[in-house]
Amino acid sequence: MSKYLMNKFIHYVNMNEAAEKEYKTAPRAFVAKWEKGEKLKFTPEEREALCNRDYAKLYGLGAHPFTLWSWTEAVWAHEISREELVRDYKEKTAKIGYPDFKT
């Protein structure tokens, strides 16, 4: 069920402006606070990937690609150009292939 929770986190941050800002400012603290309010728990690997905004890792763990890209742009666009982000995202996900994102 943690794959579902990982997607829920990505979905929540992606769709809420305040959460997006708070997460971008202090990812680790925000992940810890958000998880405390949930019944389900992340695996250590998922938690670490979320704390690091590690889109390639999350892709490999089965994050939903549609929301993951939107989220990736939202949480990285202030630090890296879109062009560079698209290039890096494509390059890294190409090495992973097409993981199952069914929850």
Partner 1 sequence: MARIVTIIGITHNPFMPRLFGRPNRPPGCAKVIERIDLMREKLKQAQPDVLIAIGNDHLHQFFMDNMPPFLIGKMDAYDGTFYDEIREFGLPPCRLPGDVELSDQIMEGLFDQGVDLAYSNELTIDHSIVVPLMFVRPETDIPIVPILTNCIAPPLPRPKRFYEVGRAIRAVVDALPTNKRIGVLVSGHLSLEIGGPRQFEGRLMDPEFDAKAIGWIANGDAQGAVNNCSFNQLKKSGNMTHGFLNFLMMMGVANASRASHAEGVDAGFPAVPFFSWDAKEGASV
48 contacts 40 by C-beta, under 8 angstroms: no
Using the rule CB under 8 A, which residue among 43, 65, 79, 84 binds partner 1? Answer: 65
Q: Does position 39 bind partner 1 by CB under 8 A? A: no
Using the rule CB under 8 A, which residue among 9, 14, 30, 34 binds partner 1? Answer: 14
Two tokens, residue 12: 């929540």
- CB of residue 66 to partner 1, shortest distance in Å: 5
60 contacts 95 by C-beta, under 8 angstroms: no
9 contacts 34 by C-beta, under 8 angstroms: yes
- CB of residue 12 to partner 1, shortest distance in Å: 10
Q: Does position 53 bind partner 1 by CB under 8 A? A: no
